[in-house]
Amino acid sequence: MPTTPVAEARPKNTEETAFKRTQFANLPGGAFFEGKWHSADMTLEVRDPEDGVLLGRVCSSTSQDVERAIAHIHRQLQWEDWPLRDRREALEKAVVLLGEQAERFANIIAAESSKTIGEAEREVRRCAETLRLSAAASGELLGETLGFEDSMAGAGKIGWYSRKPVGIVAAITPFNDPLNLVAHKLGPALIGGNGVVLKPSRRTPLTGLALVKLLLEAGVPSGRIAAIVSGPGVSEALVTDPRVDLISFTGGPATAERIAAAAGGKKILSELGGNNATIVCADADAEAAAEAIVAGAFGVAGQNCLSVQRVYVHTSLFDSVLELVTARTRELKTGPKLDRGTDVGPLISEAEARRVEEWVEEAKAAGATVHAGGQRRGAYYQPTVLADVPSACRVIRDEVFGPVVSILPFIEVQDAVFAANATEYGLQAGVFTRSIDLALQIAEKLHVGSVVINETSDVRIDSMPFGGFKKSGVGREGVRHAVREMTEPKNTIINIAGAPMQRQRPAATPEWSASS
């Protein structure tokens, strides 16, 4: 069947290679800790997944580097005051600086990740929004007076609570949103008054290091932030250090379980992905649903925790929706990331593309039919539409994290809801229907963190509480909510009954004269 061909492996273009490398020319080093950039042992290569071009190198760090980074921040937190007003102003300035450097940041993202240049530009705009929201979240740090007057134990006491930083935050981020997901951890941590050690993905570290540099330029004290990418024992040293108070992690459930086992009693915030479903009811607009499904399934080559993976369509609309989704998918262009005509770029590595290929072949062997895509070349995998997929296949059961969507029929709405919930994940879901009553009934029964009505699961605003149920994570991101997670209430109580009150002697009564 006709499909848009996968881009051929391209010969290395010397002009393009030179352009890519210029984007990283002024990165000051391969790690940042103890208030300075480090450039020793820069042996970890960063390559463009599209063509293998070497973009730069970062430090291969050690557990001793992590210990030094944490120790420095720990000391600074004890002695260095950083008032809330200054924290807010630094983040506001970072928004301005990012706007001035937007083109450069977009090019860094597009070069080292899977994102097309258009997707990278959108991520830069979202990062600016996240930093702006972080600055505005200073209002979340207000407390309130304690209700002693309404307590038996409160006689003679007054007090209040205020929100204080937890201390040191370990921020561990993935490759698929190398700028905005870093900002979602650093912004709330910093406005809350914490110190933070960033560990970006070793596949896309240059974007995170560039953001750290920008934050320092904006006025974040060098004793409040560190960035270490990777190396022997680095991850274990970071999550087990007793001076780390909170771990904020975005990644996979298996890694999260190892972190939780190693971290002991530390507070953990985790966003662990999804296997997101969309339900298309009998009264839905098939055209609108199909447009949204294609847009939500194939962005960032499907490497998005909110990607549409499973679509349950009422039998009365099934053929129509499958045909529309298939036609629109075949129109997508898979190719070079810097080409503005490209819709879908490569996966983060050829190994990941091979994994997706293996999962699709497994589904085909079990009886699934391929209606679009289904071919791989190098790190590229065509946007793929499947039908007739058995529920035991990994493309249904697990998170694909690639450009694959399965379209499945249902008769009764209850069956669609049951199937949507039949996964270990519970991040987000979409529902298409013209009936608000039906939409709300379905939303109530879906066991996910967000239900989006007349849209797919691929919707997020950076201010909303973001996270899910089951294996989709613990706690919530979303700037205001993360600020509250990264701070704790601290009470101040004054015993005004403990000090004896001084009695005042009455004023002397004047004597009346005899003549009065």
Tracing tokens 């914490």 back to the chain, one arrives at 194
The answer, yes or no, to whether residue 166 has pLDDT greater than 60, is yes
Q: Which of 119, 121, 123, 271 is catalytic?
A: 271
* CB-CB neighbours of 447 under 10 Å: 15
Indicate the pLDDT class of residue 8, thresholds 50, 70 and 90.
very low
> What is the SS3 assignment for 211?
helix
CB 60 within 8 A of CB 230: yes
* Distance separating alpha carbons of residues 278 and 130, to the nearest angstrom: 27
Indicate the pLDDT class of residue 142, thresholds 50, 70 and 90.
confident
Indicate the pLDDT class of residue 155, thresholds 50, 70 and 90.
confident
The answer, yes or no, to whether residue 216 has pLDDT greater than 60, is yes
Indicate the pLDDT class of residue 3, thresholds 50, 70 and 90.
very low
* Domains, the chain, with CATH or none: 17-272+472-492 (3.40.605.10), 276-453 (3.40.309.10)
Residues of the chain above pLDDT 90, percent: 80
Query: Where does residue 177 fall: left (phi above 0), alpha (psi -120 to 50 degrees), or beta otherwise?
Result: beta
Specify the amino acid at residue 90.
A
Interacting residues of 218 by C-beta distance below 8 A, sequence separation 6+: 90, 91, 93, 94, 97
Indicate the pLDDT class of residue 515, thresholds 50, 70 and 90.
very low
Q: Which of 59, 127, 281, 305 is catalytic?
A: 305
CB 170 within 8 A of CB 244: yes
Q: Tell me whether residue 271 is one of the annotated catalytic residues.
A: yes
**What φ, ψ does residue 8 adopt, rounded to 5°?**
-70, 150
Q: Tell me whether residue 305 is one of the annotated catalytic residues.
A: yes
Per-residue pLDDT tens over the stretch 377-399: 999 999 999 999 999 999 999 99
* Distance separating alpha carbons of residues 269 and 249, to the nearest angstrom: 6
CB 12 within 8 A of CB 197: no
The answer, yes or no, to whether residue 244 has pLDDT greater than 60, is yes
**CA distance to 246, 247, 483, 509, per residue, from 240 (Å):** 11, 10, 23, 74
Indicate the pLDDT class of residue 41, thresholds 50, 70 and 90.
confident
Cα–chain-centroid distance for residue 429? 17
**What φ, ψ does residue 425 adopt, rounded to 5°?**
-100, 160
Strand segments, DSSP code E, in 75-117 are none
Per-residue pLDDT tens over the stretch 172-203: 999 999 999 999 999 999 999 999 999 999 99
Q: Parallel, antiparallel, or unpaired for β 276-280 and 267-271?
A: unpaired
Tracing tokens 């975005």 back to the chain, one arrives at 250
Mean of pLDDT over the chain? 91
